[in-house]
Structure 1
């Protein structure tokens, strides 16, 4: 592999903040540069500084591989393409296009995610999905349904104007440190209140004025208590509620019936502390919510916490202005862009439903083929159908063998597929089942665009050459598109793909490679506009409506029972983890520590530093116990990168011994 070029600037692949980086030949590390769109002072976090610490040469896939007599053997690109073409054509002929599944990755560029979705739909199926949506499924769904968009409502820069923050289900001081230190920390140091809602004390808690540690699964109840205080103490923004909301009277009546003492007991929080924090939030002129994956419910339809947060923002008039809003801090580097590009089973590029005939017709004008009209199942549902309704899968930079499902069942499904092609940079648990493996380039070996967490589209550039015969995902998808579809996959470079993306994605319509340059452009950027939009929902919501609805949040007792010997598992961010982000840089080794409250440790005879077995119904791992009062009693914390064997659907309970 060649040494990266020092003069070329690109975008860090290790989280969704989107810091600009370049290679420092003197140190062999990454460094930022002043005046960058996001990390304006050139700051990088420790993970970003190590962005060029890529996989060792021996770990990389450098040749296409094909399974023969049970073993994966090197073959030419043409042999690999021929096999894929034959197998896909046979499956479509015998079973129809919906027997194919396309599982993508947010680590790929916008152009690559766009082509992946275009390939699936040109073959006649909406069976395309990516982990970006799964990470924030219920939250994004709630935002789309009530506001018209799941995008971060504000820019990072304008969060510096906030007078109060609720950070919930997120640890941005550790997971997105440049964004936290550049925009949130200065506001707090200048007097803004920071309220941290999380069962575990962590790096973000250290800056917080208030830490609320509810029982896992009760965040919605905590936010409902905030709403109760806002209503009881007359902190409602009555002008905003009258002008921009609907359903207030019925909503307020439902809150009035809530017994806050009982709800606080269910959540395991101090009602007096909640009231004090709610006064700080409700009394601020500008108040913002920063949310992460921790606000997700136990299922894709469990949006209670997200809905409660939206109620709070509507009630206090904190949407459509600077220093406010619902700000989803995504983890992986192009989560937003993968969704924007349409690598989703229910949406075309730009977030338009596949059920919208006008949207399908506009896409057909560009593609020459109309996408299917019926939404397809999610990635998890597609994986459940491996070997049954799904006969073949194309896995792009993903590892479905490691998933929040029954692992043995998934392995059986992978083995029972008629055909599996995996495109990745190293071997994974999924390539072990593949019939064809295609070697892909990593972030520093390809060009394109990525979209960060506050909707800024930036350009990535080639800093070094891929090893051996490895190719960019875009080049591979173009070649396969020509073979499987025919016309519509002839592009000279990523810019040509981006130009087509702007033609089918109204949010990107006014963007261009030249306009982005070394800076960024933020969506929505309509055709003919001079610039993008920093703050969403100013005059009307992205839904096109001037008013957004309130939603009643259930506060009844949960019927969930936890056995005396069980603990609830908490996990942290996956940003930059080599174990789960194979298309990234490979930086960072997940910590094999189990944080356990001293009371729970004593009850189980677990000493500090002792090696213990952690077991759930889905798997077991060995970890080193660390007694910590930073985790709530009744819970344990494990880094997400090593927790995967334990995870199943819904809230995970574990036993330690």
Structure 2
């Protein structure tokens, strides 16, 4: 199954396949990629992952032939055999159990066109059971911002953040996770005099550039943010004209905050009250203050409420609707924004219009000839809990849920309960281990289409290599499946990705005025109405995206973490580091990145290590009620006492064997950032 090494590589500007920054790269020869001067990385700068992006394209582990499971083992098969197996089994299951017995996993690491076709297949088959890994990173951010503002994306642009006077970075480490954004946009603002406030339980490279650091306890962000809001009220730092003209609910919020004691709130959050006051003043007194938020805020069972509390700060101080302000989530994969934009979510159609909206369904029906279902489908986090029961089959496109879902051991067992599973991917991942059919797809270097970056720029991807062996382009696989599965087979008769995009602009109002020619080598930004000359940079200037002039201020009460810590347990929190990406299926096959990685470690504070007889470099066992992993300890004062940290990128250790099933009740995002664990040396475990 090794890849063909004679692949006719060529240099065409495309978009890096890793994080949501949207850097442009191209093939540079000798098996390497290089940065090109593009819309975001204007000087051609890239991070180590971008430089190593070509490593996986010609990797010897690439899947190049379809695989079909026979008698418990995979055997290579012709495409017709594999596709017929998929068609027959899915049709049988739908005929017997209904369309809602199938869950479709879209991919935030694949193009808008590919994801659009996948969600179209699901909906034309009669189900809204389609989701993508945005569910696992920023769905709570999108939920809160959509409810209050009418749009869940960055309110501002990377370019205008250079005009800010204050950067409030919470639950994010952009210096490592989005280094081009940090160095090319944040650092110039800081050099221009902007103050950086960093809220994170770890001291990271981002903290090193900060003026103020609040090392909040995981799970207690609301107490901190409510305390900051109380400072703003008590010290009369409210933007009264903005609050009067652009908000509602001020009296309710002030009444709620009357009961907040700043000292007590800071104490519960584990931070110094004077530092809380300093941070609140700094943010509120700035002429233009921008919030940058990440998964440290969103990945909680109270993630949506966390973001609601954050939005209160922006609204109270009038930091919405102007350059250099706003609330700006940093997205994790190169098309996590676009996968949501085009409707690869169970409750919305392309353009974030609810599936319950009859007018939106009719507009889609006018294009497809079939009206989508009117009831929201299952999120992927709920669906995995129903594998083998209500859910009988899964179509997994370019994602690895056996690693990325919480309580991974239980999820893996659920996959084995399915009647059928088909995976489209590049490598034999942990999810492929549970598949019945595997279809070899295309890497970033072999596909054309568009992706949408973290500040709403739609950009074009172009091929830099030919396909290896007998692999096929993802879009061709999906359109073939659509023609086989759906009665209206001509609905999937596209002449390439541009034709798909043209259809997408007719059903997605946010993209209505866009075109491939208009994007060219640059970008177009949504919202881009059909009758407009260009897209919109700063959202919510005169009215909010909801169409209303006002947004509500929302009282938010703290919710304790779902995974309570008892006895000598510590809090496990997880995240990314510079040289890694998502489930690790790509980065662990990159020789360049593997040389950088060393081994994964568990960061633990010296006080916690000493209490457990742990020394730096020791092997330790980390256990929760869901499982255990073995990992090396890194004893460091850069993490707060009572908290341990490891990444979620590795099969070994598989951090998500430890994380829990608790979900945010609104967004159904898992609580990755607060898991109660025991940490012991193997010897201590044996003695017990």
Q: Tell me, yes or no, if structure 1 residue 502 matches structure 2 residue 505.
A: yes
Whether 1:653 and 2:676 are equivalent positions in the alignment is yes
In 2: Cα distance, 1:262 partner to 1:433 partner:
49
Q: What is the match of residue 202 of structure 1?
A: 204
**Partner SS for 1:600:** helix
- For residues 151-162 of structure 1, the aligned pairs below 5 Å read 151-162=153-164
Asked if structure 2 preserves the Cα contact closer than 8 Å seen for 1:613 and 1:621, the reply is yes
Name the counterpart of 1:256: 258
Distance in 1 between residues matched to 2:137 and 2:263, nearest whole Å: 33
Equivalent pair of 2:9/2:466 in contact (CA under 8 Å)? no
1:574–1:641 CA contact under 8 A, matched in 2: no
Q: Structure 1's 79 and 163: CA in aligned 2 closer, same or farther, altered over 3 A?
A: same
Any conservation in 2 of the 1:128–1:379 contact (CA below 8 Å)?
yes
Distance 1:337 1:576 in 2: 24
When residues 579 and 237 of structure 1 are mapped into structure 2, their CA distance, relative to the original with a 3 A threshold, is closer
Does the 8 Å CA contact 2:459/2:524 hold for their aligned counterparts? yes
Q: 1:312: which partner in 2?
A: 313
Partners of 2:358 and 2:582 lie apart in 1 by 41
Q: Distance in 1 between matches of 2:409 and 2:271?
A: 39
Q: Which residue of 1 aligns with 2:667?
A: none
Q: Is 1:523 aligned with 2:529?
A: no
Q: In 2, Cα distance between the equivalents of 1:4 and 1:32?
A: 20
Cα deviation, residue 391, structure 1: 1.2
CA distance in 1, matches of 2:580, 2:396: 19
Identify the residue that residue 182 of structure 2 maps to in structure 1. Answer: 180
Which residue of 2 is the match for residue 278 of structure 1?
A: 280
1:421, 1:28 → 2: CA distance? 31
Residue 615 of structure 2 is aligned to residue 607 of structure 1? yes
| Aligned equivalent of 2:14, options 6, 10, 14 | 10
Deviation at 1:332, TM superposition (A): 1.0
Q: Deviations over 1:383-420 (max 9, x none)?
A: 11111111111111122222444444323322222211
Match for residue 620 of structure 1 among 606, 628, 631: 628
SS of structure 2 residue aligned to 1:402:
helix
Residue by residue over 1:459-513, the C-alpha shift from the partner in whole angstroms, topping out at 9 and shown as x without a partner, is: 0011001211111110000101111112200011110001111110000000000
Task: Provide the rounded CA distance (Å) in 2 between the counterparts of 1:409 and 1:175.
Answer: 29
**SS of structure 1 residue aligned to 2:572:** strand
Task: Please point out which of 82, 91, 102 is paired with 1:89.
Answer: 91
Distance 1:193 1:310, change over 3 A: same
- Listed as ranges, the gaps of 5+ residues in structure 1 are none
Instruction: Name the SS for the 2:633 alignment partner.
Output: strand
Does structure 1 residue 352 correspond to structure 2 residue 375? Answer: no
Equivalent residue number for residue 64 of structure 1: 66
1:49 equivalent to 2:51? Answer yes
> Counterpart of 1:481 in 2: which secondary structure?
helix
Answer yes or no: is 1:190 the counterpart of 2:202.
Answer: no
1:287 aligns with 289
SS in 2 for 1:211: strand
Shift of 1:423: 0.8
Match of residue 450 from structure 2:
449
Separation in 2, partners of 1:517, 1:544: 31
Q: What SS does the corresponding residue of 2:391 show, helix, strand or coil?
A: coil
Q: Distance in 1 between matches of 2:177 and 2:210?
A: 16
Describe the shift of the 1:210–1:387 C-alpha distance in structure 2 as closer, same or farther (beyond 3 A). Answer: same
1:51-130 matched pairs, under 5 angstroms: 51-54=53-56, 57-130=59-132
For residues 624 and 56 of structure 1, do their structure 2 counterparts lie closer, same or farther at Cα, with a shift above 3 Å needed?
Answer: farther
CA contact (8 A) 2:135 2:380 kept: no
| Distance (Å, rounded) in 2 between the aligned partners of 1:504 and 1:37 | 26
Whether contact under 8 Å (1:170, 1:293) holds in the other structure is yes
| Alpha-carbon spacing, 1:559–1:220, altered in 2? closer, same or farther (3 Å) | same
Whole-Å Cα distance in 2 between the matches of residues 370 and 265 of structure 1? Answer: 53
Q: Does 1:633 align with 2:635?
A: no
Q: Give the 4+ runs in structure 1 shifted more than 6 A.
A: 556-560
Contact 2:406 2:656 in 1 (8 A): no
Which of 234, 239, 242 in structure 1 is aligned with 2:241? 239
CA shift digits 1:294-342 (9 cap, x unpaired): 102532x642220111000000000001000000001111100000111
More displaced stretch, 405-414 vs 153-162: 405-414
Whole-angstrom CA distance in 1 between matches of 2:173 and 2:52: 21
Question: Residue 405 and residue 578 in structure 1: after superposition, are their counterparts in 2 closer, same or farther (change >3 A)?
Answer: closer
Contact 2:660 2:675 in 1 (8 A): yes
Q: Distance in 2 between matches of 1:279 and 1:6?
A: 53
CA contact (8 A) 2:406 2:657 kept: no
Deviates more, 1:411-420 or 1:84-93: 411-420
Matches of 1:190 and 1:507 in 2, distance apart? 34
TM-score by length of 1: 0.97
Give the match's secondary structure for 2:68.
strand
Distance 1:420 1:196 in 2: 43
Give the C-alpha shift of residue 556 in structure 1: 7.7
TM-superposed deviation, 1:344: 0.7
Shift of 1:555: 4.5
- Could you tell me how far 1:575 is from its partner in structure 2? 7.5
How far apart are 1:131 and its partner, in Å?
A: 0.6
> What is the distance in 1 between the residues matched to 2:256 and 2:95?
55
Q: Cα RMSD (Å) of the superposition? A: 1.8
Instruction: Judge which range, 555-564 or 625-634, deviates more.
Output: 555-564
Is residue 217 from structure 1 mapped to residue 219 from structure 2 by the alignment?
A: yes
In the alignment, the residues of structure 2 paired with residue 8 and residue 214 of structure 1 have an alpha-carbon distance, to the nearest angstrom, of 45
**2:466 corresponds to 1:465:** yes
Contact kept in structure 1, 2:112 and 2:450, CA below 8 Å: yes
Displacement after TM superposition at 1:119 (Å): 0.3
CA 1:64–1:254 in structure 2 vs 1: closer, same or farther (change >3 Å)?
A: same
Q: How far did residue 136 of structure 1 move?
A: 1.0
After superposition, give the CA deviation of every residue in 1:137-187 in whole Å (9 maximum; x if it has no partner).
211100010100101100000000000011000000100010111111111
Matched, 1:562 2:568: no
Distance 2:392 2:304 in 1: 32
Task: Evaluate the alpha carbon distance shift between residue 176 and residue 558 of structure 1 in structure 2; reply closer, same or farther with a 3 A threshold.
Answer: closer
Counterparts of 1:515 and 1:60 in 2: how far apart (Å)?
35
Measured in 2, the distance between the counterparts of 1:52 and 1:322 equals 36
| Aligned partner (choices 10, 24, 30) of residue 28 of structure 2 | 24
C-alpha displacement at 1:81, in angstroms?
A: 1.2
Give the whole-Å Cα distance in 2 for the aligned partners of 1:561 and 1:124: 40
2:421 is paired with a residue whose SS is strand
Q: Give distance in 2, aligned partners of 1:63 and 1:559.
A: 44
